[in-house]
Amino acid sequence: MSALEAQRPRAPSWLAGRGFDTAVFAALVLLLWQGAHLWGGEVAMTTPLGTLLFTAKTLASAEFWPHAYATLSAFLIALVIAASSGILIGAVLGFHRLSGEVAEPVLVAIYSIPKVTLYPIILLFFGIGIAAEVAFGALHGIIPVILFTMNAVRNIKPVYIKSARVMRVSGWPLFRTVLLPATLPEVFTGLRVGFSLTLIGTLLSEMFGSKRGIGFVLMQAIGLHNMDVIMSLTFLLVAFAGSVNVLLLAIDHRLHRRA
């Protein structure tokens, strides 16, 4: 198997690697960006270099960090809630076939409606502030975690459990050595999707019902048409979400390669 692979002619490793694809993609984005600036002018779009400079200035400023901290803490709390209760609910729905079958269409429906329509209800419940941000973020993230976990549990091959029983493994060891690793790849995919959606939910919440956080600053900048701020914050968010996602995807692929 490995002998065959060694014989196959290969592109140089810098060309074959994922790094190269990423670099090409980044270059294209920069090109389009610059193009948009030339076409629309300074009002529509700042230059890549200008944005980078402004981003550096933003990172050095004292006002930026409390907002970043507010967003990050709301996001992390929301993520922990979405992940832990999502896995728990998903596992219950997966093991209990009937409730899973009842809940699935409801969950898919909630998953597909724009959650903004639920925002007034959330505000009514939690009031303006971190509680609403966390709730709105978690609401976005929890559904994919539930759905993926539920399917992971349903798809455990019965013969894995039978084999474990024949080897006299049951209870906690069965969970730890069979059920957990059998479901991990799918659950992880759910967490990866949940990460992105929780971030979106938290930011949206800050944009429409908050006096702090990156989302709030972004919304203010949009009102004032402050292109520098809009572009540099967008750039920071994309860089953050993008790099975490690349990492999570790499782990995801690794886990799925074995399954």
Chain residues that interact with other proteins, rule: CB under 8 A: 1, 157, 159-160, 162-163, 165-169, 173, 177-178, 181-182, 184, 257-259
* Nearer residue to other proteins within complex by CB, 27 or 259: 259
Reading phi first (left if > 0) and then psi (alpha if -120 to 50, else beta), residue 61 is in beta
Smallest gap from Cβ 129 to other proteins, in A, equals 43
Considering the complex, what minimum distance in angstroms separates the CB of residue 171 from other proteins?
Answer: 11
Rounded Cα distance, 146 and 141, in Å: 9
Q: How far is the CB of 178 from other proteins (least distance, A)?
A: 7
Closest CB to other proteins among residues 2, 112: 2
What burial class does residue 197 get, using C-beta atoms within 10 Å of its C-beta: 0-12 exposed, 13-18 middle, 19+ buried?
buried
Q: Which is nearer to other proteins, 167 or 239 (CB)?
A: 167
Amino acid at 137: G
Distance CA(138)–CA(204), nearest Å, equals 12
Minimum distance, C-beta of residue 10 to other proteins, in the bound complex (Å): 20
State the residue for tokens 């992105």: 196
* Token pair recorded at residue 29: 């984005």
Which residue from 194, 191, 214 is spatially nearest to 204, judged by alpha carbons?
A: 214
How many CB atoms sit inside 10 A of residue 148's CB? 25
The residue among 35 and 173 lying less far from other proteins, judged by its C-beta, is 173
Cα separation of 54 and 88, whole Å? Answer: 43
> Distance between CA 181 and CA 175 in Å, rounded?
9
Closest to other proteins by CB, 10 or 97: 97
Q: CB 183 → other proteins: shortest distance, Å?
A: 10
Give the nearest distance from C-beta 83 to other proteins in angstroms: 21
From CA 229, how far away is CA 223, in angstroms rounded?
A: 11
Closest distance to other proteins from the beta carbon of 186 (Å): 12
* Residue 181: CA count within 13 A, CB half-sphere: 9
Tokens 């203010």 -> residue = 220
